[in-house]
Structure 1
Amino acid sequence: MVDETPFRPREKLIEKQRLFQSIQNSTHLKGPMDKITSVAIPLALAGSSIFLIVRGIYNMSHGIGKKA
């Protein structure tokens, strides 16, 4: 049997485990960049989709943007 070298040293792994276990936030918001992917991007997508829906309803109700 050949022992593989770990991806990270054991000390760093234990340090990261302590950090993540001590944080009181939700599991998906524990990393420093996770707030961008879990909060900002969905809010931006929701905001832009609501804007496009409202614009489409306005255009339909006023007859703007018809093709022919």
Structure 2
Amino acid sequence: MQKALTPGGSKQQSDSFHLKEPSLNLKNNEIILIQKSLVKQQGNKQAVSEELGISRSTLWRKIEEYGL
């Protein structure tokens, strides 16, 4: 059972409080990172590949493979 803070600062027990575990699925995380980088870099694939530490050809392949 977890303890949660109420607005007044006192602790109450809460059975429903659970931290969501991050996905460990490599493909899903790769897609998310590429999408976020594409937005951040405004579609500049050279900048995206540099930010992600992969070659442009690898980035293009992943974009095609994942339908981005």
Q: TM-score range by the shorter chain?
A: under 0.3
Larger fraction in strand: 2
User: TM-score if structure 2 supplies the norm length?
Assistant: 0.25
Select the structure with the greater relative contact order (CA < 8 A; seq sep ≥ 6): 2
Greater percentage in helix: 1
Bigger Cα Rg: 1
- Normalising by structure 1, report the TM-score: 0.25
